[in-house]
Amino acid sequence: MSEFVRLEVDGGVGTIRLERPPMNPLSVQVQEEIRAAATEAAERADVRAVVVWGGEKVFAAGADIKEMQTMSYTDMVDRSAALQSSLTAVARIPKPTVAAITGYALGGGCELALACDFRVAADDAKLGQPEILLGIIPGAGGTQRLSRLVGPARAKDLIYSGRFVAADEALAIGLVDRVVPKAEVHDTAVAWMRTFAAGPAYALRAAKEAVDRGLETDLDTGLEIERMLFAGLFATHDRTAGMTSFVEQGPGKAVFEGR
C-alpha cells in the first residue's frame, strides 16, 4: 500500500495523487510510488486518461534535498537511473496525461510535469528547474524534455539561471498549455482528460507513440513508425465503428469501446 502516492479512478480518468505535505518532495520512496501508480494506470483498462495532481496547494517543490544531501557520488550513480525511470514511467503511460499544477512545480516537480502530455497551471503557479542553485543540473529528464518542449535557448535560460517562471510566462513559452484560476485547476484537468476517455483507446495510444517515438529519431524513421501504427489500427474494433458511423451518420457520432 503506497503511503504518499495513490491512484484514484472516476469515469475513466485516473488521478495520480501526490500527498506528502507540506511540499510533496520527491524522496526515493515517493519516486518509487510514482512508478507504481504510473504502471497501474498504464495497465488498468478502466483508466483511459490520467491526471497527475499534487493537491490544492502545491504540485511538487522538487527533490527531497535533505535525503539527497547525504548521498555520495557512488550513491547517486546507483540511484540516478531509477530516479529517471520513475518519471519516465509517467511519460510512458500509453494514454493521454495532464499535470494539474498548483503552487510550485520545481526541480523534480517540474520534471514530473514535463513527463505528462499536457500541463494545466494555476494563475499563481511557479515552475522552474533551480538545480543549478544547488550546484547540480536537472537529473530526472529536465535537460531533455524541457528543451524539446520550449526549445534549447529557453531551456538553457531556465536551467542556467534556476529562476522561477510565473504562469503567464510559462504559457507564453509553451511550458504550460492552459492557465486557469487556482480553484479550477483540477476540475479543468479532469474535464480535459474526460474528452479523451471516451475516445478510441488504441488510436490514442498509437498517436502518442508515433509523436513521442518520432521525436526521438530522424524523419524517415518517424514516418515508418507512423505508417506501421496507422496500418495496425485497421485491426481494431474502434476503427470499424468509427468509419461505419462516419459513413452512416456523419462525423463525430461514433461510440468507441476501447478495443
Using one digit for the tens of pLDDT, what is the confidence trace for 94-108? 999 999 999 999 999
Q: Within a domain: residue 40?
A: yes
Buried (b) or exposed (e) across 47-79, using 16+ Cβ within 10 A? bbbbbbbbbeebbbbbbbeeebeeeeeeeeeee
Residue 211 pLDDT class (50, 70, 90 cuts): very high
The model carries a pTM of: 0.94
Same structural domain, 123 and 213: no
The yes-or-no verdict on residue 157 having pLDDT over 80 is yes
The yes-or-no verdict on residue 208 having pLDDT over 80 is yes
Same structural domain, 95 and 190: yes
Q: 113, exposed or middle or buried, with CB in 10 Å at 0-12, 13-18, 19+?
A: buried
Number of domains in the chain: 2
- Expressed as residue numbers, the domain containing 85 is 5-197
Same structural domain, 178 and 231: no
Write down the pLDDT at residue 69.
92
Write down the pLDDT at residue 34.
98
Same structural domain, 105 and 193: yes
The yes-or-no verdict on residue 1 having pLDDT over 80 is no
Q: Which residues are catalytic?
A: 111, 131
